[in-house]
């Protein structure tokens, strides 16, 4: 069975209560449940993690090369600021997809630039929690 990891960045632990007009009412736990169900349907083994720490996220990315067949990442605010995440993503050869709940290209000007996207195979954004489902389907095809 192929193994994937979904890495969630800072403040995503506050989903469901944080800026619900932008991010919706689904909690990260809700998203984890639908992601597990989708992975079960596609015969994928899922590791689902969240961290507010850039260094922990980098460690998860590094583990992908040895421990997983593919990576899905929602870098959250680090999308727009972290060269360190970009370098970590570029350092691994496994398939990688960046996702966002909101459409970052229809938001504030500073959110329209993704530093991390040049380190992944593709980006999915703007579909709410379904961004995760679409990414799982895509990563299955890539691996």
pTM metric for this prediction: 0.94
- Enclosing H/E stretch for 101: none
CATH of domain 2-142: 3.40.50.9100
Catalytic residue from among 23, 60, 78, 132:
23
Catalytic residue from among 78, 100, 105, 110:
100
- Residue count (the chain): 143
Q: Which residues of 52-87 are buried (b: 16+ CB within 10 A; e: fewer)?
A: bebeebbebbebbeeebbbbbbbbbebbbebebbbe
Q: What is the pLDDT along the chain (143 residues), one digit of tens a residue?
A: 999 999 999 999 988 898 777 777 889 999 999 999 999 999 999 999 999 999 999 999 999 999 999 999 999 999 989 999 999 999 999 999 999 998 888 777 777 789 899 999 999 999 999 999 999 999 999 99
65: which 2 tokens?
């090369």
Q: How many CB atoms lie within 10 A of CB 44?
A: 20
96: which 2 tokens?
């990688």
Q: Where are the domains of the chain?
A: 2-142
Task: Give yes or no: 100 in active site.
Answer: yes
Task: Give yes or no: 80 in active site.
Answer: no
């Amino acid at each position: 069975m192929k193994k994937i990891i979904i890495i969630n960045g800072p403040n995503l632990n506050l989903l469901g209560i944080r800026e619900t007009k932008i991010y919706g009412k689904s909690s990260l736990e809700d998203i984890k449940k639908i992601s597990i169900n989708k992975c079960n349907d596609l015969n994928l083994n899922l590791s689902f993690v969240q961290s507010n720490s850039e260094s922990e996220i980098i460690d998860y990315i590094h583990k992908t090369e040895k421990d997983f067949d593919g990576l899905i990442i929602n870098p959250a605010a680090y999308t727009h600021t972290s060269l360190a995440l970009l370098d970590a993503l570029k350092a691994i050869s496994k398939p990688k997809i960046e996702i966002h709940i909101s459409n970052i290209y229809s938001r504030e000007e500073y959110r329209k630039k993704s530093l991390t996207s040049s380190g992944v195979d593709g980006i999915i954004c703007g579909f709410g929690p379904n961004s995760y489902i679409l990414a799982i389907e895509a990563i299955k095809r890539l691996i």
